[in-house]
Amino acid sequence: MTDDEIRALERRDGLPDALRVLVDELPRGTWEAHPNFSPLTRFWLQRHLMFREVLERLQGDTRAFLDGRAEARAYGRQTARMAQFLLQELHGHHSIEDHHYFPVLQALDDRLEKGFVLLDADHHALDGHMNDLAQGTNEMLSGLQGPDPLAGAGRLDTRLSDFGSFIDRHLTDEEDLVVPVILRYAPEIH
């Protein structure tokens, strides 16, 4: 796997074949029935689902405002709160993964070392996208007081779409790499 493949979150359409060794043996549809599918694994997957749902809600609220179905003040207040929550939770989630879970999991199967390098590169790439989303949210909030409050919301809608693509790619690839490792090796992770 080349360095470009490792760092290509924005261009990747799935895990490279070399990193699919365990997910091919333990496909997504079999995970919950596996004896090593733990409450912690379920919780971790639910966190991923929550990130997707909050992002979907942010986009839905933005589009409602753009379509004239939401009042500016309420939209701004709700968007600021939800965007802050999403970004803080993602930052904390990635920090725990990078410093606690991934080092344990990476040590279990040498074939997947580059997969954890890929996930680490994703986290660094996502930092930039998260900063961009925060900036776009702040610009939208400032613009709500200006002559064209829809302009900032329109730009935020685009940023939310881009961010949604990047975060979904990352979360899906992360799940496809991590859950099969947990199922195969049942590590002690708390």
Given a cut of 70, whether residue 42 has pLDDT beyond it is: yes
Dist. CA 132–CA 138, nearest whole Å: 10
Residues in the chain: 190
What is the CB neighbour count within 10 angstroms for residue 8? 17
Give the pLDDT mean for 88-96: 97
* Angle, CA of 42, 184 and 25, to the nearest 5°: 100
Given a cut of 60, whether residue 137 has pLDDT beyond it is: yes
**Residue 3: predicted pLDDT:** 56
**Residue 68: predicted pLDDT:** 97
Burial of 17 (0-12, 13-18, 19+ CB in 10 A): exposed
Are the C-beta atoms of residues 31 and 187 closer than 8 Å to each other?
Answer: no
Q: Give me the chain's average pLDDT, please.
A: 94
pLDDT in tens, 155-182: 999 999 999 999 999 999 999 999 999 9
Helix (H, G, I), strand (E, B) or coil at 143: helix
Question: pTM above the 0.85 mark?
Answer: yes
Residue type at position 70 = A
**Residue 189: predicted pLDDT:** 74
